[in-house]
Chains A and B, each alone.
Chain A
Amino acid sequence: MTNWKFWAGQLLCYSLFIGFIGYFSNSPAYQRFPDNQAMIKLSLRHAGQLIGECHIRSETELAQLPPNMRIAKVCPRERSSLMLDLLINGEIVYSEEHTPRGLHKDGLSSIYFRLPVDAGNIDFKVRMKDHPSQNDYPYQLQKKLQLAPAQVLVIDFDSKAGEFIIL
């Protein structure tokens, strides 16, 4: 093969190589959602209430225990699951029960849920129970909002204040 063909061939191969890398390193653009879509994220961590009553040990019960374990009031460690619903324009779009973390189910329940919705007016309601004895939902938030395209609405829960918040 003549010299110029040798170099021209290499030039072509190198051009294809960098052409491939140059193009695919950031193109074609990946259209993830239609432009008119917004997003709701439900993200919260909360410890459900303790299940079961505390128990006061009697004198005889205490006497049977080693001295370092004689604590009069014993409370169960297990916490309740969280029951959480999200309604959009009156329709339930998410309804789930979340068990607490930990072997003894004594940790926090952690929730993360993402839902693409059409941008525009929405009427959303989020509600939660954190004890099985609750008949109604003690924590609720309802709002009418105008969501811009691509806007992310994050709904969180402030455990101290006991209320839903929007981030």
Chain B
Amino acid sequence: MIRVIERSALSLFRMMESAFNQIFGERWNPWYQLGALSFYFFWIVTVTGLYLFIFFDTSISGAFESMEALTNNQWFAGGIIRSLHRYASDAMAITVTLHLLREFSLGRFRGARWFSWFSGVPLLWLLFASAIGGYWLVWDQLAQYISEITTEWFGWLPFIGDSLARNFVSNQTLSDRFFSLLVFMHIAIPLFLLVGMFIHIKRIKLPKTSPPKGLARGTLAALILLSLIKPAVSMNKADMSVSVTSIDLDWVYMNVYPLLDSWGYGPVWALLVGISGALAILPWLSPNKKNTQQAAEVNPDNCNGCSWCYQDCPFEAITMIEHDFKKGHKQAQVDPDLCTACGICAGSCPSATPFRHVDELISGIEIPSFSIDHLRQETHKKLEALKGNQRLVVFGCDHGNEIKRIADDQTAVISLPCAGLLPPSFADYISRQPEIDGVMVSGCCSQDCYFRKGTEWTEQRFHRERMPHLRTKAGQQKVKLFWAGPAEGKKLKQALTEYRIELAIHKAEETEGSGHD
């Protein structure tokens, strides 16, 4: 059931992403930057919040007036800053929610990836608490409504009790002390959120925490424009002797408040705790299937301690330790609890080269169920079956384009867990086979590798910017890279056709050249 929802959500996301690729290009596509955008909005909220704090009167008698003065007397500065503070918070709630849904649809909560998922759940509570606390400080009628409902809602819990709501029951019972506590909480909770955000990405190598410049500028400009068109304003000043009947709610953050009125507090607690609990245990409710890849294994005989795999692992699952038996040398060690079995480490291993003259090719590090030797055997089998006069081999990843669709007599396709598993020397080796005209390596779209870094590292290795390099003497045109998301099957077909034409022209030029000689 979970997988069915996951797949439907994924196809919806794929459609959106593909449409946005047309508009924004892959690099600026916001769907690939939802976590980074969330960080970005957090920083906008922090900087604008600092400005607001300078002018904010932290007493319950002066809070409302200080916000009014800021909004009206300096609309060109404080007013815009206030609006940005509000709208960037709303934007963050939206990107975080979409980020959650997208990570879910990609199944990025299973196996070793449970940590980011699990640690994301408390961030939701902290984010909502931060925002609702902010609205409370304005001390207008919205704040009055929030104070009444929130204190009653928390007072419903037996260990808190009724006395919380009493603080906000009438103008006489209001106290600056309690209000100062709220001001303190509106600083403390976002700080906890920030700490939580760092814990959330702790197990990720080089996390994307800032969006590309074009997207960052675009979103900031849009939010500033919104602040100018519709500046954030307060409702009337809170007055506890008159209840608020019609409220200008921020539906992004306070969507459960009407439920609190209609269902009562217990059911809403049950709902929210239930949803959070279900999210938190999702990695164990729907674990990896039994037959999925096992964690990478190190073979000390073939590990020379170069540490390339350590540098390339996207989930920091590899550490370098003393070599088992080579004195003064290092050796990789894999923490299976952190390993996602992507195989990017195998692709980085200098010993994973099929040029080696050994009976059984064992790499210094590799995925046991998808060894380099297995890859060599499978590739050879497919090469033998190729016919025609322009024979190509296409390596693709399971998460990118479905490469099986392009297989034919002249095109052998080999699917990998991740394109990053393919050592450049392997592509080189295949490209040098006399009967092979070209090799194509394809995988997830450039900004959205399922295993985060496979596309980027492969690109760099094949362009000789990252070890191990591609060192083909057969010419760069014999190895071609192509990245496209799974929804872009047509593009892959087209790229393959173009590659065939390119190879044919090159071949014709070569024969012409040798004819002249």
Q: Which residues of A contact B (CB under 8 A)?
A: 1, 6, 9-10, 12-15, 17-18, 20-22, 24-35, 37-39, 41, 43, 45, 101, 110-112, 114, 149-152, 154, 156, 167
The B interface is mostly helix, strand or loop, or mixed, namely: helix
Across the interface, name the chain B residue whose C-beta is closest to A29. B246
Decide: A25 and B86 in contact? CB cutoff 8 A: yes
Question: With A and B bound together, what is the CA distance between A33 and B148 in angstroms?
Answer: 14
Across the interface, name the chain A residue whose C-beta is closest to B257. A30
A-B contacts, 19 of them at CB < 8 A, read: A1-B22, A6-B23, A9-B24, A10-B23, A13-B24, A18-B223, A21-B87, A21-B252, A25-B86, A25-B252, A27-B248, A28-B251, A29-B246, A101-B161, A110-B161, A114-B148, A150-B242, A150-B244, A151-B241
Question: With A and B bound together, what is the CA distance between A45 and B164 in angstroms?
Answer: 12
Interface string of B248-264 (1 = CB under 8 A from A): 11111000011001000
Question: With A and B bound together, what is the CA distance between A105 and B225 in angstroms?
Answer: 59
New A-B pairs, 20, CB < 8 Å, besides A15-B222, A22-B229, A30-B248 = A9-B22, A14-B218, A14-B219, A18-B87, A20-B94, A21-B90, A22-B87, A22-B230, A25-B90, A27-B251, A31-B246, A39-B243, A41-B169, A43-B166, A111-B162, A112-B152, A112-B163, A112-B165, A112-B166, A151-B243
In the complex, B52 has a CB within 8 A of chain A? no
Question: With A and B bound together, what is the CA distance between A45 and B222 in angstroms?
Answer: 51
Contacts of B252 in A (CB 8 A): 21, 24-25
In the complex, B20 has a CB within 8 A of chain A? yes
In the complex, B121 has a CB within 8 A of chain A? no
Decide: A37 and B166 in contact? CB cutoff 8 A: no
Question: With A and B bound together, what is the CA distance between A39 and B223 in angstroms?
Answer: 39
Question: With A and B bound together, what is the CA distance between A43 and B172 in angstroms?
Answer: 12
Contacts of B86 in A (CB 8 A): 25
Decide: B172 and A167 in contact? CB cutoff 8 A: yes
In the complex, B232 has a CB within 8 A of chain A? yes
Decide: B241 and A18 in contact? CB cutoff 8 A: no
Contacts of A39 in B (CB 8 A): 243
Decide: B20 and A43 in contact? CB cutoff 8 A: no
Contacts of A6 in B (CB 8 A): 23, 25
In the complex, B514 has a CB within 8 A of chain A? no
Decide: A9 and B162 in contact? CB cutoff 8 A: no
Kindly list the 4 A-B residue pairs having the minimum CB-CB distance in the complex, ordered from nearest.
Answer: A9-B23, A112-B162, A18-B226, A26-B248
Decide: A21 and B94 in contact? CB cutoff 8 A: yes
Question: With A and B bound together, what is the CA distance between A1 and B26 in angstroms?
Answer: 13
Decide: A29 and B22 in contact? CB cutoff 8 A: no
